[in-house]
Structure 1
Amino acid sequence: MNLKDELALELENTRRDFHHLLDSVPEALYAHPSTNPAWTVGDVLYHITLGPVALRFEIWMLLHARGLFQLAMNDLTSGMFNWVNARFARRGKRVTRRGLRKAYETGHTGILSGLKQMREEDFARSIVYPNSFVSELAGEVSIERLYRYVSGHFEVHAAQISNDLSHHDDTKA
Protein backbone atom coordinates (compact mmCIF):
# COMPACT_ATOMS: atom_id res chain seq x y z
CA MET A 1 0.00 0.00 0.00
CA ASN A 2 1.47 3.35 -0.99
CA LEU A 3 1.23 6.52 1.11
CA LYS A 4 -1.77 7.91 -0.81
CA ASP A 5 -3.71 4.69 -0.29
CA GLU A 6 -2.74 4.63 3.40
CA LEU A 7 -3.89 8.22 3.91
CA ALA A 8 -7.12 7.61 1.95
CA LEU A 9 -7.90 4.63 4.18
CA GLU A 10 -7.18 6.70 7.30
CA LEU A 11 -9.49 9.46 6.04
CA GLU A 12 -12.23 6.92 5.25
CA ASN A 13 -11.91 5.37 8.72
CA THR A 14 -12.17 8.82 10.29
CA ARG A 15 -15.24 9.54 8.17
CA ARG A 16 -16.84 6.29 9.36
CA ASP A 17 -15.96 7.11 12.98
CA PHE A 18 -17.43 10.62 12.64
CA HIS A 19 -20.73 9.16 11.45
CA HIS A 20 -20.74 6.66 14.33
CA LEU A 21 -20.10 9.49 16.78
CA LEU A 22 -22.79 11.62 15.19
CA ASP A 23 -25.31 8.78 15.42
CA SER A 24 -24.46 8.29 19.11
CA VAL A 25 -25.23 11.89 20.13
CA PRO A 26 -28.93 12.75 20.42
CA GLU A 27 -29.75 16.12 18.88
CA ALA A 28 -31.30 17.10 22.22
CA LEU A 29 -27.76 17.20 23.64
CA TYR A 30 -26.34 19.57 21.03
CA ALA A 31 -27.24 22.56 23.20
CA HIS A 32 -25.67 21.07 26.35
CA PRO A 33 -22.36 22.50 27.55
CA SER A 34 -19.18 20.67 26.62
CA THR A 35 -16.01 20.42 28.68
CA ASN A 36 -14.81 23.43 26.68
CA PRO A 37 -16.56 26.25 28.57
CA ALA A 38 -16.98 28.33 25.40
CA TRP A 39 -18.70 25.59 23.36
CA THR A 40 -21.73 23.32 23.46
CA VAL A 41 -21.66 19.69 22.33
CA GLY A 42 -23.16 20.85 19.01
CA ASP A 43 -20.42 23.45 18.66
CA VAL A 44 -17.76 20.76 19.07
CA LEU A 45 -19.48 18.53 16.50
CA TYR A 46 -19.62 21.43 14.06
CA HIS A 47 -15.97 22.26 14.77
CA ILE A 48 -15.02 18.69 13.79
CA THR A 49 -16.63 19.24 10.37
CA LEU A 50 -14.36 22.26 9.81
CA GLY A 51 -11.18 20.18 10.17
CA PRO A 52 -11.03 18.65 6.67
CA VAL A 53 -11.95 21.97 5.03
CA ALA A 54 -9.34 23.96 6.95
CA LEU A 55 -6.62 21.36 6.44
CA ARG A 56 -7.31 21.15 2.71
CA PHE A 57 -6.87 24.92 2.52
CA GLU A 58 -3.65 24.78 4.56
CA ILE A 59 -2.26 22.05 2.29
CA TRP A 60 -3.15 24.13 -0.77
CA MET A 61 -1.45 27.17 0.76
CA LEU A 62 1.68 25.17 1.56
CA LEU A 63 1.85 23.95 -2.05
CA HIS A 64 0.91 27.14 -3.90
CA ALA A 65 1.51 30.11 -1.60
CA ARG A 66 4.11 28.90 0.89
CA GLY A 67 5.63 32.33 1.52
CA LEU A 68 2.27 33.92 2.24
CA PHE A 69 1.28 30.96 4.38
CA GLN A 70 4.53 31.14 6.38
CA LEU A 71 4.00 34.86 6.86
CA ALA A 72 0.51 34.21 8.20
CA MET A 73 1.66 31.42 10.55
CA ASN A 74 2.82 33.53 13.47
CA ASP A 75 1.85 34.43 17.00
CA LEU A 76 0.23 37.68 15.88
CA THR A 77 -2.27 36.00 13.55
CA SER A 78 -2.97 33.08 15.89
CA GLY A 79 -5.31 35.24 17.98
CA MET A 80 -7.32 36.09 14.89
CA PHE A 81 -7.35 32.43 13.80
CA ASN A 82 -8.63 31.33 17.21
CA TRP A 83 -11.32 34.03 17.18
CA VAL A 84 -12.55 32.98 13.72
CA ASN A 85 -12.38 29.31 14.69
CA ALA A 86 -14.50 29.93 17.79
CA ARG A 87 -16.97 32.11 15.91
CA PHE A 88 -17.56 29.55 13.17
CA ALA A 89 -17.88 26.70 15.64
CA ARG A 90 -20.56 28.36 17.78
CA ARG A 91 -23.49 26.94 15.86
CA GLY A 92 -24.74 24.30 18.30
CA LYS A 93 -28.26 25.70 18.55
CA ARG A 94 -28.59 25.87 14.77
CA VAL A 95 -27.08 22.57 13.69
CA THR A 96 -28.88 19.35 12.93
CA ARG A 97 -27.56 15.85 12.48
CA ARG A 98 -28.36 16.15 8.77
CA GLY A 99 -26.50 19.46 8.47
CA LEU A 100 -23.46 18.08 10.31
CA ARG A 101 -23.43 15.00 8.10
CA LYS A 102 -23.60 17.17 4.97
CA ALA A 103 -20.86 19.52 6.22
CA TYR A 104 -18.53 16.63 7.03
CA GLU A 105 -19.17 14.93 3.68
CA THR A 106 -18.37 18.17 1.84
CA GLY A 107 -15.06 18.53 3.68
CA HIS A 108 -14.24 14.85 3.32
CA THR A 109 -14.89 14.89 -0.43
CA GLY A 110 -12.70 17.96 -0.80
CA ILE A 111 -9.74 16.62 1.13
CA LEU A 112 -9.91 13.28 -0.72
CA SER A 113 -9.93 15.17 -4.01
CA GLY A 114 -6.80 17.04 -2.96
CA LEU A 115 -5.16 13.79 -1.89
CA LYS A 116 -5.83 12.18 -5.28
CA GLN A 117 -4.09 15.10 -7.00
CA MET A 118 -1.08 15.08 -4.66
CA ARG A 119 2.31 14.14 -6.06
CA GLU A 120 4.28 11.66 -3.98
CA GLU A 121 7.20 14.07 -3.56
CA ASP A 122 4.93 16.77 -2.11
CA PHE A 123 4.07 14.81 1.04
CA ALA A 124 7.42 15.77 2.58
CA ARG A 125 7.01 19.52 1.96
CA SER A 126 6.64 21.29 5.27
CA ILE A 127 6.08 24.50 7.15
CA VAL A 128 6.63 25.59 10.77
CA TYR A 129 3.53 26.03 12.90
CA PRO A 130 3.94 28.20 16.00
CA ASN A 131 2.71 26.65 19.24
CA SER A 132 0.11 29.40 19.65
CA PHE A 133 -1.55 28.61 16.31
CA VAL A 134 -2.47 24.93 16.70
CA SER A 135 -0.60 23.43 19.64
CA GLU A 136 -0.98 19.83 18.38
CA LEU A 137 0.83 20.88 15.19
CA ALA A 138 3.57 22.99 16.77
CA GLY A 139 6.90 22.73 14.99
CA GLU A 140 7.83 21.41 11.55
CA VAL A 141 4.72 19.98 9.87
CA SER A 142 4.73 18.09 6.59
CA ILE A 143 1.83 17.73 4.19
CA GLU A 144 1.62 14.07 5.19
CA ARG A 145 1.20 15.13 8.82
CA LEU A 146 -1.55 17.59 7.85
CA TYR A 147 -3.48 14.77 6.15
CA ARG A 148 -3.00 12.62 9.24
CA TYR A 149 -4.16 15.46 11.46
CA VAL A 150 -7.70 15.09 10.08
CA SER A 151 -7.84 11.91 12.18
CA GLY A 152 -5.95 13.38 15.12
CA HIS A 153 -8.25 16.41 15.24
CA PHE A 154 -11.29 14.15 15.14
CA GLU A 155 -9.95 11.85 17.86
CA VAL A 156 -9.27 14.73 20.27
CA HIS A 157 -12.78 16.10 19.92
CA ALA A 158 -14.49 12.68 19.80
CA ALA A 159 -12.89 11.90 23.18
CA GLN A 160 -14.12 15.26 24.47
CA ILE A 161 -17.68 14.51 23.32
CA SER A 162 -17.57 11.00 24.80
CA ASN A 163 -16.54 12.56 28.09
CA ASP A 164 -19.34 15.12 27.78
CA LEU A 165 -21.91 12.38 27.10
CA SER A 166 -20.81 10.43 30.16
CA HIS A 167 -21.94 13.39 32.27
CA HIS A 168 -25.50 13.42 30.86
CA ASP A 169 -28.30 11.07 31.91
CA ASP A 170 -30.33 11.86 28.80
CA THR A 171 -27.99 10.37 26.18
CA LYS A 172 -30.85 8.15 24.99
CA ALA A 173 -33.07 11.16 24.20
Structure 2
Amino acid sequence: MTQAHPMDRQAVYDGYERARQTFHRLLDAASESDLARPTRGTRWTNGQLLWHMLFGYLAVRALLVLARVFGRLPRGVSKVFARLLNAATAPFDLINYAGPVGAVKVITPRRMGAAFDRVISSLRRQLEAESEAGLARGMHYPVRWDPFFKDFMTLADIYGYPTEHFDFHHRQLTLGEAASRAQT
Protein backbone atom coordinates (compact mmCIF):
# COMPACT_ATOMS: atom_id res chain seq x y z
CA MET A 1 0.00 0.00 0.00
CA THR A 2 1.53 3.30 -1.00
CA GLN A 3 1.40 6.22 1.37
CA ALA A 4 1.41 8.88 -1.37
CA HIS A 5 -2.28 9.29 -0.55
CA PRO A 6 -3.98 9.04 2.82
CA MET A 7 -5.24 5.61 3.75
CA ASP A 8 -8.95 4.98 3.13
CA ARG A 9 -9.80 4.18 6.72
CA GLN A 10 -13.50 3.85 5.97
CA ALA A 11 -12.78 1.04 3.50
CA VAL A 12 -10.86 -0.81 6.23
CA TYR A 13 -13.67 -0.24 8.76
CA ASP A 14 -16.21 -1.46 6.19
CA GLY A 15 -14.12 -4.60 5.56
CA TYR A 16 -13.91 -5.27 9.28
CA GLU A 17 -17.66 -4.92 9.71
CA ARG A 18 -18.44 -7.10 6.69
CA ALA A 19 -16.10 -9.81 8.02
CA ARG A 20 -17.61 -9.51 11.51
CA GLN A 21 -21.14 -9.94 10.20
CA THR A 22 -20.09 -12.82 7.95
CA PHE A 23 -18.29 -14.53 10.83
CA HIS A 24 -21.40 -14.33 13.01
CA ARG A 25 -23.64 -15.60 10.20
CA LEU A 26 -21.33 -18.55 9.66
CA LEU A 27 -21.18 -19.40 13.37
CA ASP A 28 -24.93 -18.96 13.85
CA ALA A 29 -25.82 -21.24 10.93
CA ALA A 30 -23.25 -23.97 11.61
CA SER A 31 -24.20 -27.18 13.35
CA GLU A 32 -21.67 -29.32 15.21
CA SER A 33 -21.42 -31.60 12.18
CA ASP A 34 -20.88 -28.56 9.91
CA LEU A 35 -18.01 -27.40 12.12
CA ALA A 36 -16.47 -30.90 12.10
CA ARG A 37 -16.59 -31.20 8.29
CA PRO A 38 -13.28 -30.89 6.39
CA THR A 39 -12.53 -27.68 4.52
CA ARG A 40 -11.48 -27.25 0.92
CA GLY A 41 -7.70 -27.13 0.45
CA THR A 42 -6.63 -27.29 4.12
CA ARG A 43 -6.12 -29.98 6.74
CA TRP A 44 -8.49 -28.15 9.10
CA THR A 45 -12.15 -28.66 9.83
CA ASN A 46 -14.56 -25.76 9.33
CA GLY A 47 -14.43 -25.00 13.06
CA GLN A 48 -10.65 -24.98 13.08
CA LEU A 49 -10.51 -22.76 10.00
CA LEU A 50 -12.99 -20.33 11.58
CA TRP A 51 -10.66 -20.09 14.56
CA HIS A 52 -7.73 -19.46 12.22
CA MET A 53 -9.73 -16.70 10.51
CA LEU A 54 -10.34 -15.07 13.90
CA PHE A 55 -6.67 -15.52 14.78
CA GLY A 56 -5.73 -13.52 11.69
CA TYR A 57 -7.33 -10.49 13.33
CA LEU A 58 -5.91 -11.28 16.76
CA ALA A 59 -2.38 -11.57 15.34
CA VAL A 60 -2.60 -8.12 13.79
CA ARG A 61 -2.25 -6.55 17.23
CA ALA A 62 1.21 -8.14 17.59
CA LEU A 63 2.12 -7.30 13.98
CA LEU A 64 1.28 -3.64 14.65
CA VAL A 65 3.52 -3.56 17.72
CA LEU A 66 6.38 -5.08 15.75
CA ALA A 67 5.93 -2.60 12.90
CA ARG A 68 5.84 0.34 15.30
CA VAL A 69 9.09 -0.77 16.93
CA PHE A 70 10.96 -1.81 13.78
CA GLY A 71 9.57 1.19 11.89
CA ARG A 72 11.71 3.44 14.08
CA LEU A 73 14.88 1.45 13.37
CA PRO A 74 16.96 1.28 10.20
CA ARG A 75 15.19 -0.92 7.63
CA GLY A 76 18.08 -3.35 7.58
CA VAL A 77 17.24 -4.42 11.14
CA SER A 78 13.77 -5.63 10.17
CA LYS A 79 15.18 -7.22 7.02
CA VAL A 80 17.48 -9.39 9.18
CA PHE A 81 14.59 -10.16 11.55
CA ALA A 82 12.37 -11.19 8.61
CA ARG A 83 15.14 -13.48 7.30
CA LEU A 84 15.41 -15.15 10.70
CA LEU A 85 11.65 -15.67 10.80
CA ASN A 86 11.66 -17.04 7.25
CA ALA A 87 14.31 -19.53 8.37
CA ALA A 88 11.90 -20.66 11.11
CA THR A 89 9.00 -21.31 8.71
CA ALA A 90 8.74 -25.04 9.49
CA PRO A 91 8.17 -24.57 13.24
CA PHE A 92 5.81 -21.66 12.47
CA ASP A 93 3.78 -23.84 10.10
CA LEU A 94 3.45 -26.54 12.77
CA ILE A 95 2.30 -24.04 15.41
CA ASN A 96 0.01 -22.32 12.89
CA TYR A 97 -1.65 -25.67 12.15
CA ALA A 98 -1.80 -27.01 15.71
CA GLY A 99 -3.12 -23.80 17.28
CA PRO A 100 -6.62 -24.00 15.76
CA VAL A 101 -6.75 -27.77 16.29
CA GLY A 102 -6.34 -27.25 20.02
CA ALA A 103 -8.23 -23.98 20.29
CA VAL A 104 -11.57 -25.35 19.10
CA LYS A 105 -11.44 -27.97 21.83
CA VAL A 106 -11.69 -25.28 24.50
CA ILE A 107 -13.20 -22.23 22.77
CA THR A 108 -16.84 -22.49 21.79
CA PRO A 109 -18.30 -20.85 18.69
CA ARG A 110 -20.09 -18.37 20.98
CA ARG A 111 -16.78 -17.36 22.56
CA MET A 112 -15.19 -17.09 19.11
CA GLY A 113 -17.96 -14.69 18.07
CA ALA A 114 -17.45 -12.54 21.16
CA ALA A 115 -13.68 -12.52 20.61
CA PHE A 116 -14.21 -11.46 16.99
CA ASP A 117 -16.35 -8.53 18.14
CA ARG A 118 -13.73 -7.44 20.67
CA VAL A 119 -10.79 -7.61 18.29
CA ILE A 120 -12.64 -5.71 15.56
CA SER A 121 -13.56 -3.01 18.05
CA SER A 122 -9.97 -2.83 19.29
CA LEU A 123 -8.47 -2.60 15.79
CA ARG A 124 -10.95 0.07 14.81
CA ARG A 125 -10.04 2.20 17.85
CA GLN A 126 -6.33 1.75 17.15
CA LEU A 127 -6.73 2.73 13.51
CA GLU A 128 -8.75 5.82 14.48
CA ALA A 129 -5.85 6.93 16.68
CA GLU A 130 -3.13 6.44 14.03
CA SER A 131 -1.53 9.43 12.35
CA GLU A 132 -0.81 9.37 8.62
CA ALA A 133 2.92 9.43 9.44
CA GLY A 134 2.45 6.45 11.76
CA LEU A 135 0.56 4.53 9.08
CA ALA A 136 3.51 5.02 6.72
CA ARG A 137 5.93 3.30 9.13
CA GLY A 138 6.62 -0.34 8.50
CA MET A 139 9.01 -3.22 8.41
CA HIS A 140 10.09 -6.24 6.43
CA TYR A 141 7.99 -9.38 6.99
CA PRO A 142 8.65 -13.11 6.59
CA VAL A 143 7.01 -13.68 3.21
CA ARG A 144 7.21 -17.47 3.62
CA TRP A 145 4.85 -17.32 6.61
CA ASP A 146 1.76 -16.07 4.83
CA PRO A 147 0.84 -15.53 1.17
CA PHE A 148 -0.47 -12.07 2.03
CA PHE A 149 2.73 -10.85 3.66
CA LYS A 150 4.76 -8.59 1.44
CA ASP A 151 8.48 -8.06 1.82
CA PHE A 152 7.81 -4.63 3.34
CA MET A 153 4.51 -3.71 4.96
CA THR A 154 3.40 -0.42 6.43
CA LEU A 155 1.00 -0.13 9.33
CA ALA A 156 -1.65 0.77 6.74
CA ASP A 157 -0.94 -2.53 4.96
CA ILE A 158 -1.15 -4.42 8.24
CA TYR A 159 -4.55 -2.95 9.10
CA GLY A 160 -5.84 -4.24 5.75
CA TYR A 161 -4.21 -7.65 6.02
CA PRO A 162 -6.68 -9.54 8.26
CA THR A 163 -9.69 -8.96 6.03
CA GLU A 164 -7.75 -10.16 2.98
CA HIS A 165 -6.74 -13.24 5.00
CA PHE A 166 -10.35 -13.71 6.15
CA ASP A 167 -11.76 -13.50 2.62
CA PHE A 168 -9.24 -16.02 1.29
CA HIS A 169 -10.07 -18.58 3.97
CA HIS A 170 -13.81 -17.90 3.78
CA ARG A 171 -13.71 -19.45 0.30
CA GLN A 172 -12.21 -22.64 1.77
CA LEU A 173 -15.06 -23.26 4.20
CA THR A 174 -17.55 -25.99 3.36
CA LEU A 175 -20.29 -24.78 5.70
CA GLY A 176 -23.77 -25.30 4.35
CA GLU A 177 -22.58 -27.36 1.38
CA ALA A 178 -24.13 -30.58 2.63
CA ALA A 179 -27.50 -28.84 3.09
CA SER A 180 -27.38 -27.24 -0.34
CA ARG A 181 -26.40 -30.59 -1.97
CA ALA A 182 -29.34 -32.29 -0.25
CA GLN A 183 -31.75 -29.73 -1.73
CA THR A 184 -30.59 -30.23 -5.33
- TM range, smaller chain: 0.7 to 0.9
Structure 1: segments with no counterpart, 5+ residues: none
Partner of 1:117: 129
Q: CA RMSD in A?
A: 2.7
* Distance change in 2, residues 1:117/1:136 (3 Å): same
Return the letter of the residue paired with 1:80: P
Return the letter of the residue paired with 1:144: A
Structure 2: segments with no counterpart, 5+ residues: 1-5
The answer to whether the 8 Å contact 1:126/1:143 transfers is: yes
| Worse-matched range after superposition: 76-85 or 66-75 | 66-75
> Over residues 2-42 of structure 1, what are the superposed CA-to-partner deviations in whole Å (9 max), with x where a residue is unaligned?
73333223222221222222223223221222224521111
Q: In the TM superposition, what is the alpha-carbon distance from 1:171 to its structure 2 partner?
A: 8.7
Q: In the TM superposition, what is the alpha-carbon distance from 1:140 to its structure 2 partner?
A: 2.4
Partner of 2:160: 148
TM-score in terms of structure 1 length: 0.81
Q: In the TM superposition, what is the alpha-carbon distance from 1:120 to its structure 2 partner?
A: 1.6
TM-score in terms of structure 2 length: 0.77
Question: Which one has a bigger Cα radius of gyration?
Answer: 2
Aligned pairs, number: 170
Q: In the TM superposition, what is the alpha-carbon distance from 1:46 to its structure 2 partner?
A: 0.7
Q: In the TM superposition, what is the alpha-carbon distance from 1:54 to its structure 2 partner?
A: 0.3
Q: In the TM superposition, what is the alpha-carbon distance from 1:134 to its structure 2 partner?
A: 1.1
The answer to whether the 8 Å contact 2:141/2:149 transfers is: yes
Return the letter of the residue paired with 1:79: A
Q: In the TM superposition, what is the alpha-carbon distance from 1:57 to its structure 2 partner?
A: 1.1
> Over residues 39-81 of structure 1, what are the superposed CA-to-partner deviations in whole Å (9 max), with x where a residue is unaligned?
1111001111111110121012101244676544231132232
